Amino acid sequence: MVSHSGLLTVIERAARKVAPQLRRDFGEVQHLQVSRKGPADFVSVADKKAENTLVQELRKARPDWGFLLEEGGEIEGDPMKPRWVIDPLDGTSNFLHGIPHFAISIAVQEPRRDGRGWGEVTTGLIYQPITDESYWAEKSRGAWRHDQRLRVSARRDLSEALVATGIPFLGHGDLAQFSRIFGAIAPSVAGIRRFGAATLDLAWVASGRFDGFWESGLQPWDVQAGILLVREAGGFVTDFRGGSEPVERREILAGNDIMHSKLHKLLAGSLRNA
């Protein structure tokens, strides 16, 4: 039995506090107040309530840490201390359509030593309230689902690979670029899935359910915990050029070493030929 650090206990406790609230709201989703942040970018009272509860709980445990929140934006804390990067409800569209595939994502990001901005992510949790699955990782301590150590898949052959992605939607993302990449990858793999929660796409790469994942346009709260999970599970995560800036460039490609390199070849080829 593995025991995680005190910090993870704090994070998991906060996520578990929010989970019943999210399950209740999910059960009464037709009555929830929903507004739009963009043409097809929805936010509900459930997203906001979940975020507020997480902020309250985490603040009790670490009063001087700042936040980067999907709904509330940035809240400054002590610049020498880490900050929380939070997506209180990843998969809002699924949630609002009664599809039980969504998660809470919480990452801990350290300040850079030179005091300029934010650096390494050292802890991450992705919690799925409906299935009660808890994925967590700590830097150099591995990736886990509850007390089971996670490894990325061992598949080496693209023709056996099940790969996840995200598809641009109304008012969001570069559909032409997506179509080029999709056209290059789809004929070579066994299957492609678009389940609508990037945090879980990454957690499922870490756990070997998916052999790879690519998407563009994601935000730090969508990926920070998941990137740590995939890397701690022995996988590779880069931007589309193979570089080390998937968050800054808002392009993410993840998989085991062989899958990552094969998918990267197809993806980079499709962008070169554009």
Q: Does 91 engage in binding with ligand IPD (CB under 6 A)?
A: yes
Q: Does 218 engage in binding with ligand IPD (CB under 6 A)?
A: yes
Q: Quick one: DSSP state of residue 167?
A: -
Q: Which does 91 bind (CB under 5 to 8 A by kind): Ca ion, ligand IPD, none?
A: ligand IPD
Q: How far apart are CA 66 and CA 57, in angstroms?
A: 13
28 to 67: interface string for ligand IPD, x by CB under 6 A: ----------------------------------------
Q: How far apart are CA 56 and CA 62, in angstroms?
A: 10
Q: For residue 16, count other CB atoms closer than 10 A to its CB.
A: 15
Q: Does 222 engage in binding with ligand IPD (CB under 6 A)?
A: yes
Q: Does 70 engage in binding with Ca ion (CB under 5 A)?
A: yes
Q: How far is the CB of 91 from Ca ion (least distance, A)?
A: 7
Q: Quick one: DSSP state of residue 160?
A: G
Q: Does 228 engage in binding with ligand IPD (CB under 6 A)?
A: no
Among 87, 201, 215, 251, binds Ca ion (CB under 5 A): 87
Q: Does 166 engage in binding with ligand IPD (CB under 6 A)?
A: yes
What count of residues does the chain have? 274
Q: For residue 171, count other CB atoms closer than 10 A to its CB.
A: 11
Concatenated DSSP letters of 14-41: HHHHHHHHHHHHHHTGGGS-EEEEETTE
Nearest to 122 by CA among 255, 198, 218, 227: 227
Q: How far is the CB of 226 from ligand IPD (least distance, A)?
A: 10
Q: Which amino acid is at 10?
A: V
Question: Hey, which residues between 207 and 226 contact Ca ion (CB under 5 A)?
Answer: 222
Q: What are 59's two structure tokens?
A: 């603040």
Among 25, 51, 87, 232, binds ligand IPD (CB under 6 A): 87
Binding site for ligand IPD (CB under 6 A): 87, 90-93, 166, 196-198, 215, 217-218, 222
